[in-house]
């Protein structure tokens, strides 16, 4: 991991005297000493009104790990079906009366979508979808093979633990065997999602037809055993308490201690539009920044924290690069999941590479194009971001 900035402890202490109030000084000392934060520390980081202090501390960890670098990827999302039998209350994506019309992609449609972006040097295809019990095991194998047929070099990140449980049900084989067969067909890593938040109360209230926390963790353990990398998420801003958010981080951190196979945490901002929870207010930019910052501080064994620009907006994502995030996700191209008007085939949501580079540079960070495993992707000379651009500190550190 890069460590472009050498941290001067006495300088950080001087800044902390101005930025961190007495009530959080013990947490600041733990951050400096690289000590693990407790559940109670996490709750205090959520409860304090002093977001600037929380962001300052998260930025220390972020710069310790990644210096001034901020990562992006050229990727494409494919949401292969929105037919789903789980009816999660927070979800606007699945087909329902008065909501999005049902669709299911044929292999020809998957090919068409991939070919539509062949001019872009995409390194990752991200595929997730609803749970349609009519889809046979073969469909999922074909999906993976079709992607590799059109783009043989691409990394496929696909199938949440909930989809994997359904695929296993169709395959009628042990999970590890299914995972190995999916890997042979082209699967390279697993996305986050599928659990939203590791709280049995929230599970019962919002998504009781999906796996519970223990089942979700068992899929993750199986993935680690077969050598798959996995990403992690936390959906916040619905009915969960602050304590449940911290509980999620503590459980994921313990699982990462056990498996070591997670690479990134992405806190996902809840979008109530079109869901059964439409009456709830949307999380604010203030919430988004705090969740990024607390994730960075609690998850000392996670290399990366991502601000997903589609959920957080590009503007909040720029600020998040100073609140603990080191990754902005990527070009995306098409994304069906948080689009109110769920009409299939009109989901273009894209930031070009140039726009991503500008987003990062404007925020005063150095853009680094990465692949799915955070290896730097060499750029062509005319493509090279202005990575040596003068460092622009944000006002709170000046």
Binding site for ligand SF4 (CB under 6 A): 84, 86-88, 91, 93-94, 130-131, 162, 207, 210
Query: With respect to ligand SF4, which residue has the nearer C-beta, 46 or 344?
Result: 344
Query: With respect to ligand SF4, which residue has the nearer C-beta, 86 or 389?
Result: 86
Query: With respect to ligand SF4, which residue has the nearer C-beta, 71 or 94?
Result: 94
b/e string for 145-171 if b means 16 or more Cβ within 10 A? ebbbebbeebbbbbbbbbbbbbbbebb
Q: How far is the CB of 296 from ligand SF4 (least distance, A)?
A: 26
Query: With respect to ligand SF4, which residue has the nearer C-beta, 11 or 209?
Result: 209
Q: What single DSSP character describes residue 368?
A: E
Question: At 226, which helix (H) or strand (E)?
Answer: helix 213-226
Query: With respect to ligand SF4, which residue has the nearer C-beta, 159 or 207?
Result: 207
Q: How far is the CB of 394 from ligand SF4 (least distance, A)?
A: 35
Q: Which residue has the tokens 């101005």?
A: 18
Q: How far is the CB of 210 from ligand SF4 (least distance, A)?
A: 6
b/e string for 45-57 if b means 16 or more Cβ within 10 A? bbebeeebbbbbb
Closest of 306, 281, 310, 272 to residue 291, by C-alpha = 306
| Phi and psi torsions of 189, nearest 5° | -160, 170
Q: How far is the CB of 90 from ligand SF4 (least distance, A)?
A: 7
Query: With respect to ligand SF4, which residue has the nearer C-beta, 217 or 321?
Result: 217
Contact by Cβ (8 Å): 235, 270: yes
Structure-block tokens of residue 134: 């009519």
b/e string for 258-277 if b means 16 or more Cβ within 10 A? ebebbbbbbbbbbbbebbeb
Q: How far is the CB of 168 from ligand SF4 (least distance, A)?
A: 15
Q: How far is the CB of 218 from ligand SF4 (least distance, A)?
A: 18
């Amino acid at each position: 991991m890069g460590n472009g900035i050498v941290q001067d402890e006495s300088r950080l202490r001087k800044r902390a005297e101005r930025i961190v109030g007495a009530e959080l000084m013990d947490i600041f000392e733990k951050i400096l000493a690289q000590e693990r934060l407790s559940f109670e520390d996490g709750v205090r980081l959520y409860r304090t009104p002093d977001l600037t202090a929380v962001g300052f501390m998260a930025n220390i960890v972020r710069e310790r790990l990644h210096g001034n670098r901020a990562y992006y990827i050229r990727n494409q999302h494919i949401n292969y079906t929105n037919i789903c039998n789980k009816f999660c209350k927070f979800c606007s994506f699945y087909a329902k009366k008065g909501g999005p019309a049902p669709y299911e992609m044929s292999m020809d449609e998957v090919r068409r979508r991939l070919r539509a972006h062949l001019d872009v040097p995409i390194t990752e295809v991200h595929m997730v979808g609803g749970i349609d019990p009519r889809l046979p095991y073969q469909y999922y194998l074909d999906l993976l093979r079709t992607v590799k047929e059109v783009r043989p070099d691409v990394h496929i990140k696909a199938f949440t633990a909930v989809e994997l449980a359904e695929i296993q049900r169709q395959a009628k084989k042990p999970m590890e065997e299914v995972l190995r067969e999916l890997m042979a067909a082209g699967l390279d890593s697993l996305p986050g999602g599928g659990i939203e938040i590791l709280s049995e109360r929230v599970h019962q209230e919002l998504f009781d037809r999906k796996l519970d926390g223990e089942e979700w963790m068992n899929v993750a353990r199986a993935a680690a055993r077969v050598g798959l990398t996995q990403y992690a998420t936390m959906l916040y801003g619905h009915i969960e308490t602050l304590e449940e958010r911290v509980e999620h981080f503590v459980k994921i951190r313990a699982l990462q201690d056990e498996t070591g196979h997670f690479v990134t945490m992405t806190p996902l901002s809840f979008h109530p539009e079109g869901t059964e929870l439409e009456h709830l207010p949307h999380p604010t930019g203030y919430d988004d920044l705090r969740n990024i910052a607390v994730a960075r501080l609690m998850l000392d064994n996670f290399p990366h924290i991502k601000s997903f620009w589609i959920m957080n907006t590009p503007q909040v994502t720029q600020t998040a690069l100073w609140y603990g995030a080191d990754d902005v996700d990527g070009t995306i191209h098409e994304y069906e999941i948080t689009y109110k008007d769920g009409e299939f085939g009109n989901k273009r949501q894209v930031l070009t590479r140039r726009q991503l580079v500008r987003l990062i540079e404007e925020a005063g960070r150095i853009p680094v194009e990465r692949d799915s495993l955070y290896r730097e992707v060499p750029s062509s000379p005319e493509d090279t971001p202005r990575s040596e651009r003068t460092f622009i500190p944000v006002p709170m550190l000046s």
